[in-house]
Amino acid sequence: MLNRRKILHGMAAGAGAVMTAALDPRKAMAAPETGRTTKRVIFFMQNQGFDPKTCIPKGMTSSGSLANVTLPEPISPLESYKDRLHIINGIHGTHTTPSHSAFFGALGGYRGGDGVPPSGSTIDYELSKVLPETLMPHLCIGMDSIENMTTKPTVANLSASGAGQPIFMHSNPNHLYQMLYGGIATGEIRKQHEAKSNLLAQVEKLANAKGQSLPDHTAQRYSQFVQGFRDTNGLQDRLSKVSGHLRKFAPVVDERYTRPQFETDWHDALLELGISALTSGITNTLTIGSGRGEIFGAWKGIGVEKQGHDLGHIKQADNPIWIKIRQYNSRMLVKIMEALDSIPEGSGSMMDHTLIVYTSNNADSQHTSGANWPVMLLGNFDGAFKTGCFTQLDGKRPINALYTAILRAAGSSVDRFNMDEKLAKKFDRDSGPIKEILT
């Protein structure tokens, strides 16, 4: 009974952290066929660090064009997309104390750590409030070993909607498919979706009734729990009202879902679900946690036998293991771009209005001070960011300044993100966005 309570609480907390007030589903879809043009942002966080030598072309020590250079082997799948790529080196995150991982601090720009709750909202959640409202403003998916994804289908390590309010990552593609597309499925998936929907509806009703008799000092906290179930049920209701539209985008459920041979089968299925949520307009903010923001993770499906914490204790540059993992990441980035490129939007494609942010929740390496936090951007976000170039910074602007730049490009007039003046005096030499990366 305790395990079931934990599972239900995770489902409720995860949904409650990303849902908004009731929307008209037909007006909330951000899909191109509605005639709307919208921006969208994808964060891809790989654990164990992002060694700059795995992404900076050899010989490049200062800012310049990527046109006449060859990308390093780990990111070679992006060679055909160099004109849309921006490699940034020299941002810092020393104030986040990343070490094994900055956890929530990686996207929050504040101190993080294992077991440390979020001290504020993260950039992905803040963007979901700035960008046009969608049915599910923010979706977070997490990739790990098959054992971890099975026993812990939801964890919260990277995203948060506020202080002490984590957002859960979905790691079982079967559960996520049921949530997004169970209403249009057939057979066993439809049966499971209906059974779960009925259960959640009953839990919401019971929880709401019981909560009314609680003492005042616990009623507010309990109401957040109840709201989580209400939001979950509300999301399913709104998705059912646009079922005809969603059928065009729902992935095909195959043996990767039900009989995965390797964990990468589930990784690929989760990626497809994330892409479908973007292309269908269910969401416009997607966070992908490869390794789920921790020190674990496995990639046996691409021939990497070593897994977990040990991966962080081997060098990444010129290492066959990390070449395979980084190339796998890069192929995923290409899949996202190809999918968004294939759908017309405005005078271009969905990718023309999209920004992909690829980095690590561990800055440049395992056990790092965070003095250097390499980042790759793909796409220009409707012309806001420079592309086809490498930018070398001096290490005096924090990761917060990058997030400020993205918020500015999304339409929010902010000078800082999660950094007050006292903290800025110590960790930031300037205010506002990183001007060198903007057009």
Distance CA 82, CA 37 (A): 25
Q: What are phi and psi of 364, to 5 degrees?
A: -95, -20
The distance of Cα 49 from the centroid of its chain, to the nearest Å, equals 16
Question: Can you give the CATH number for the domain in which 221 is found?
Answer: 3.40.720
Instruction: Give residue 10's pLDDT.
Output: 41
pLDDT tens digit at each of 439 positions of the chain: 333 334 333 444 444 344 443 445 555 555 555 555 689 999 999 999 999 999 999 999 999 999 999 999 999 999 999 999 999 999 999 999 998 899 999 999 999 999 999 999 999 999 999 999 899 889 999 999 999 999 999 999 999 999 999 999 999 999 999 889 886 655 666 566 555 555 445 554 655 555 555 555 555 555 555 455 455 556 777 787 888 889 899 999 999 999 999 999 999 999 999 999 999 999 999 999 999 999 999 999 999 999 988 999 999 999 999 999 999 999 999 999 999 999 999 999 999 999 999 999 999 999 899 999 999 999 999 999 999 999 999 999 999 999 999 999 999 999 999 999 999 999 999 999 999 999 9
Give 258's Cβ-side CA count (13 Å radius): 7
Instruction: Give residue 131's pLDDT.
Output: 95
Distance CA 297, CA 304 (A): 11
Angle at 430 between CA 426 and CA 432, to 5 degrees: 120
Distance CA 63, CA 391 (A): 4
Instruction: Give residue 9's pLDDT.
Output: 39
**Single-letter code of the amino acid located at 389:** C
Helix (H, G, I), strand (E, B) or coil at 397: strand
Q: What are phi and psi of 20, to 5 degrees?
A: -120, -170
Instruction: Give residue 229's pLDDT.
Output: 46
Instruction: Give residue 202's pLDDT.
Output: 56
Q: Tokens 């057979």, residue?
A: 187
Angle at 184 between CA 271 and CA 35, to 5 degrees: 70
Query: String of b and e for 355-386 (b: at least 16 CB within 10 Å)?
Result: bbbbbbbbbbbbebebebbbbbbbbbbbebbb
Distance CA 88, CA 108 (A): 19
45 membership: H or E segment, kind and range? strand 40-46
- Closest by alpha carbon to 121, among 287, 233, 234? 287
Instruction: Give residue 17's pLDDT.
Output: 40
- Name 170's bridge partners: 141, 154
DSSP state of 320: H
Q: Count up the domains in the chain and report the number.
A: 1
Distance CA 161, CA 159 (A): 7
Instruction: Give residue 191's pLDDT.
Output: 60
Instruction: Give residue 235's pLDDT.
Output: 74
Burial label, 287 (beta-carbon count in 10 A; 0-12, 13-18, 19+): buried
Give 47's Cβ-side CA count (13 Å radius): 30
Distance CA 279, CA 146 (A): 27
Instruction: Give residue 242's pLDDT.
Output: 85
Domain extent, residue 338, equals 2-437
